[in-house]
Amino acid sequence: MSDRTVVQLSNVFLKSDRGFEVFKDLNFELQAERSAIITGAAGSGKSLLVELLIGRRFADSGSVEVLGQLLRPRKKRLIKRIRRQIGGVGGIFGLVPSFTVAENITFPLVLAAERKRVQKERLFKMLTEFSLLKQAGTYPDRLTRVEHTLVQLARATVGNQPLVIIDEPLAGLDQKTYQRIYDYMVKLALSGRSMIILSAESLPTDFPNTSRYTIENGMLV
């Protein structure tokens, strides 16, 4: 793995909890300042791929390296440290129910022991960016689906995390919100942020600095 490699999966094999072979000799590499759009049908393994990348699940064989570190079951402290550098949207990256919108957004900064002044400045920037000022004190169970997605995007990028994983970001959105979130992801890509975007549907072809893959027969092609 080079210094510019953000993610590298080598010869990964993985079976599901039911014993089905999901990944068969899967290989994947993501360089810094690049993004990847990965499409695949329901049940193809997109969610399991996310779990591999954050150390929630481990390959039966092969290796998974994220931000220069090899993820292994016994490296719990290392995995926690890596997770703090990953922003997540959708799928398993739910909001903390007992936290307000403001608390959810600033959580990565709290974990990073960022100064209070910086936390306030970045929070205000994100609340303004996503038109969430009125929802700052609201709890997740009071948010709409669109607001949930916007809060997750804000949380995933507030700390300038070097890797952002976005799971089905545009599914079921109205056209206006779809375009707003898509434009923000393009902005992130142009800024040099590395992203892995997983989607059941193809995304527009003009997405910058991006390679495209499809999960087929347990491999990325």
Q: Is residue 34 part of a domain?
A: yes
Note whether 77 and 98 are same-domain residues. no
197 in a domain, yes or no?
A: yes
Both 143 and 196 in one domain: the answer is no
180 within domain boundaries: no
CA angle 78, 8, 161 (to 5 degrees): 55
Residues 200 and 132 in one domain: no
Domain that holds residue 153: 94-161
Residues 81 and 8 placed together within one structural domain of the fold:
yes
Q: Dihedrals φ, ψ of 205, to 5°? A: -80, -5
* 77 in any annotated domain: yes
The CATH number that applies at residue 52 is 3.40.50.300
Q: Is the pLDDT of residue 142 over 80?
A: yes
25 falls within a domain: yes
Better-predicted residue by pLDDT, 16 or 141:
141
Q: pLDDT by residue (tens digit) across 96-123?
A: 999 999 999 999 999 999 999 999 999 9
Q: Which residue has the tokens 């994983």?
A: 165
% of the chain residues with pLDDT over 90: 81
Do residues 52 and 12 touch, judged by C-beta distance below 8 A? Answer: yes
Domain boundary residue, one of 124, 142, 161: 161
Name the band, by pLDDT with cuts 50, 70 and 90, for residue 1: low
Q: How far apart are the first and last CA of the chain?
A: 20
Q: CA dist 25 to 30, 62, 211, 220, Å? A: 17, 8, 20, 9
**Total structural domains within the chain:** 2
Same domain, 72 and 12: yes
Q: Is residue 174 part of a domain?
A: no
Please state which of the ranges 11-20, 73-82, 143-152, 200-209 shows the lowest mean pLDDT: 200-209
pTM of this prediction?
0.93
Interval 27-50 mean pLDDT: 94
Q: Which helix (H) or strand (E) holds 176?
A: helix 175-190
Tokens of 160: 């300038």
Q: Quick one: pLDDT band at residue 2, thresholds 50, 70, 90?
A: low
178 within domain boundaries = no
The answer on 60 and 22 residing in a single domain is: yes
State the Cα–Cα distance between residues 162 and 103, nearest whole angstrom. Answer: 21
Per-residue tokens: 72:
């292994």
Q: Are 37 and 199 in contact (CB under 8 A)?
A: yes
* Cβ–Cβ under 8 Å, residues 150 and 104: no
The reply to whether 212 falls in a domain is yes
Residue-wise pLDDT for 165-190, tens only, equals: 999 877 778 888 888 888 999 999 99
* Co-location of 194 and 127 in the same domain: no
69 and 106 fall within a common domain = no
Q: Is residue 86 within 8 Å of residue 195, measured between CB atoms?
A: no
Same domain, 3 and 65: yes
Do residues 79 and 1 share a domain? yes
Average pLDDT over residues 39-66: 94
Q: Is 10 exposed, middle or buried (0-12, 13-18, 19+ CB in 10 A)?
A: middle
The whole-chain average pLDDT of the chain stands at 93
Mean pLDDT of 140-165: 94
Banded pLDDT at 18 (limits 50, 70, 90): confident
Give CA–CA dist 204/162, Å, rounded: 24
Last residue of some domain: 142, 161, 180? 161
